[in-house]
């Protein structure tokens, strides 16, 4: 009986370590994607076909594919539903493979006649996956009665994921209605980069300097309110939890 109980404790501790590691990996990739979106978008806006733009697109595509895999890997920490996990894996693999064949800047094995419809399909598949992972992660953060290291990384991961997912939503809306963000930007990575920048300006309370349509402006208000509410809830939740000796950091 003693050995069986010990094995259960160790198993739970290992699960917490794995979850904290997965959260850290996602946060690292999120930071890289956000930095790319906020600082390296200039060449893309000027000329997306230049050599430096091609390099940026290639590097960003690699980190984007890594981010998609890490989201799927993180989802496995939250659920044992094999149908859900398998379906999301197949969808993400399809997005990565097709996106690589169409968007890779140094060669194009697949030519898409209707680029707007192609981008709309890709983002329509990706956005629900991001929302699903966010929902599971929020449930995980607010469950349990102890303060553990994975909850801290999870809180940061969710906040950054909110900004990126709203950026994906804004990108989706501008694909449907080009120019609705308040600027005429080439669809694809240049537009996505600008949408991510706009999203984090809203979360950070910074004026993005754009005049979007009423729909995007209203959704931006929802994002700003949700970000503030999330911050208050997560601070109250984490500060109110007692620390656990068997946390992943001990």
Is residue 210 included in any domain, yes or no? yes
pLDDT above 50: residue 59: yes
CA 200 to chain centre: 12
Domain range spanning residue 178? 16-239
* Distance separating alpha carbons of residues 37 and 168, to the nearest angstrom: 12
Is residue 94 included in any domain, yes or no? yes
Give the residue from 173, 187, 175, 186 showing the smallest Cα distance to 216: 173
Is residue 248 included in any domain, yes or no? no
Is residue 84 included in any domain, yes or no? yes
Give the per-residue pLDDT at 241.
Answer: 57
pTM of the model: 0.83
Our count of domains for the chain comes to: 1
Q: What is the mean pLDDT of residues 112-138?
A: 89
Is residue 246 included in any domain, yes or no? no
For 159-176, b/e burial (b = at least 16 CB within 10 A) is bbbbbbbbbbbbbbbbbe
Is residue 7 included in any domain, yes or no? no
pLDDT above 60: residue 208: yes
pLDDT above 90: residue 193: no
Which residue in this structure is represented by tokens 């050995």?
Answer: 3
Is residue 67 included in any domain, yes or no? yes
Is residue 250 included in any domain, yes or no? no
Q: pLDDT band for 172, please (50, 70, 90 cuts).
A: very high
Can you read off the two tokens belonging to residue 31? 């930071």
Spell out the residues 6+ positions from residue 55 whose beta carbon is closer than 8 angstroms to its own. 105
Spell out the residues 6+ positions from residue 23 whose beta carbon is closer than 8 angstroms to its own. 74, 150, 153, 154, 156, 157
Mean pLDDT across the chain, nearest whole number?
Answer: 82
pLDDT digits (tens, 9 = 90+) for 95-121: 988 888 887 777 777 777 888 888 899
pLDDT above 90: residue 89: yes
């Amino acid at each position: 009986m003693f050995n069986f109980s010990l094995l259960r404790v160790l198993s739970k501790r290992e699960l917490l370590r794995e979850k904290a590691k997965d959260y850290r990996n996602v946060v690292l990739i999120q930071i890289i994607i956000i930095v790319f979106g906020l600082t390296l978008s200039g060449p893309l806006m000027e000329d997306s076909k230049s050599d430096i733009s091609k390099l940026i697109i290639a590097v960003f595509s690699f980190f984007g594919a890594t981010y998609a895999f890490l989201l799927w890997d993180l989802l496995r920490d939250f659920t044992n539903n094999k149908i859900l996990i398998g379906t999301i894996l197949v969808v993400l693999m399809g997005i990565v493979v097709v996106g690589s064949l169409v968007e890779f800047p140094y060669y194009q094995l697949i030519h898409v006649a209707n680029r707007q419809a192609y981008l709309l399909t890709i983002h329509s598949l990706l956005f629900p996956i991001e929302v699903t992972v966010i929902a599971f992660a929020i449930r995980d953060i607010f469950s349990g009665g102890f303060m553990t290291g994975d909850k801290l990384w999870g809180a940061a991961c969710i906040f950054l994921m909110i900004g990126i997912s709203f950026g994906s939503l804004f990108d989706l809306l501008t694909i449907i209605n080009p120019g609705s963000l308040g600027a005429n930007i080439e669809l694809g990575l240049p537009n996505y980069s600008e949408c991510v920048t706009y999203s984090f300006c809203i979360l950070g309370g910074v004026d993005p300097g754009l005049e979007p349509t009423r729909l995007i402006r209203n959704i931006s208000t929802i994002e700003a309110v949700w970000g503030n509410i999330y911050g208050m809830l997560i601070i109250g939740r984490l500060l109110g939890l007692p620390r656990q000796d068997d946390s992943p950091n001990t």
